[in-house]
Structure 1
Amino acid sequence: MGFQRSQLDIRCRIDKMLQRPRNPHIIQRMLAQEKRDPDPNYQIFLPDPSNLLEIHFSVHGPQGTLYEGGIYHGLIMLDPDHPFKPPHIQMLTPSGRFETHKNICFSFTAYHPETWSPACKLRDIIIGLSSMFDATKEVGLGFIQNPNPSDVVECREKSRTYQCTQCSANHSLLSSQ
């Protein structure tokens, strides 16, 4: 069962990689805006410049929470019809709050197209996700219910040395910035 599922996951990823955005200029403008006006709370990475649909990000844990001091790495998978359809979002590093490599359900994701606005930018999505770290009453797909504080602290400490092999994000360098 696990092997079949991983084959299906690989096939889905290949299918997604072969897709091209229908509005690449909009995504390129959004990425350029992020570069011109960076937010100190997160950083954007493009693992493959020829694939504008897959964007990595590293976000600092929210201040005043158990997550503060951690840096958490995630993935935004834009729909080929972006910005007219919402993305899927996954966390790639453990945080104690979100499951890794599973789509997360909150208002800026494909699980809620009724609340999506084409005016939403990457910044809105990442800040929206960041606000969910300490919102323990929020539950849904991809959330860990009742996060264990000792797990959160352990994940926070480990997150500072994470290096992504796909996009070259290096949290050791980010934590010193």
Structure 2
Amino acid sequence: MASQKRIGKELSELTASPPEGISVELADEADLFKWKVFMNGPEGSPYEGGKFLVNLTLPNEYPFKPPTVSFGTKIYHPNVTNDEKGSMCLGMLRADEWKPSSKIAAVLEFARQLLLEPMPDDAVEGRIAEQYKSDRKRYDEIAREWTRKWAMSGQ
């Protein structure tokens, strides 16, 4: 199957030379379509010091359909849903914006960049986006608190 070959190739590239602050493994050795991604909170962001589990699921039609990305670790962020799903809203992952030439590495780098620079105008959590724009200090405090509570090792 072409998609499995492509996924296998991208997986081996990512494990051999992962993007900064990111490591990747299969959630289950027998399933190429479900990945566990560990993302370190970027320096200088309220997520610094945290380690976040990101679940990446690839559709059978990959690369013609985009992967879905969700946070397994609770995170206070305007672009991630505040429920147990932790769905991440990324423009490039929308069906109408996805390009088959896009690589999973680019998706992960974009997701990590979003931790550094949230996009409040493309938010899934309106209240958090509003706070990010109007009271950045309080937003940073809560994001740091959540990072300490949910994303620090040894919890």
Query: What is the TM-score of this pair, normalised by structure 1?
Result: 0.69
CA contact (8 A) 1:102 1:142 kept: no
Which has the larger strand fraction?
2
Q: Rate the CA distance shift 1:31–1:142 in 2: closer, same or farther, 3 A.
A: farther
List alignment gaps of at least 5 residues for structure 2. Answer: 133-138
What is the CA deviation profile of residues 81-137 of structure 1, one whole-angstrom value per residue up to 9, with x for unaligned ones?
Answer: 00111011110111211234143221232xx22221112222111111112223252
Q: Distance in 2 between matches of 1:51 and 1:129?
A: 23
Trace 1:116-135 onto structure 2 (pairs within 5 A).
116-133=98-115, 134-135=117-118
Instruction: Quote the offset at 1:142 in angstroms.
Output: 6.2
In proportion to residue count, which structure has more helix? Answer: 2
Gaps of 5+ in 1: 1-20, 164-177
Change (3 A) 1:142 1:49: farther
How far did 1:162 drift?
6.5
Instruction: Tell me if the contact between 1:104 and 1:142 (Cα under 8 Å) persists in the aligned partners.
Output: no
State the alpha-carbon separation in 2 of the partners of residues 80 and 136 from structure 1. 29
Partners of 1:155 and 1:22 in 2: CA distance: 41
Q: 2:90 aligned with 1:73, yes or no? A: no
Letter in 2 for 1:154: E
Alpha-carbon RMSD: 2.3
**Structure 1 position 60, deviation (Å):** 1.3
* Residue 49 (structure 1) aligned with residue 41 (structure 2): no
| 1:105 maps onto 2:89 in alignment | yes
Between the aligned partners of 2:106 and 2:121, the Cα distance in structure 1 is 18
Q: Which amino acid aligns with 1:101?
A: K
Secondary structure in structure 2 of the residue aligned to 1:114? coil
Q: Is structure 2 residue 139 aligned with structure 1 residue 155?
A: no
Extract structure 1 runs of 4+ deviating beyond 4 A: none
Identity percentage of aligned residues: 20
1:93 alignment counterpart: 73
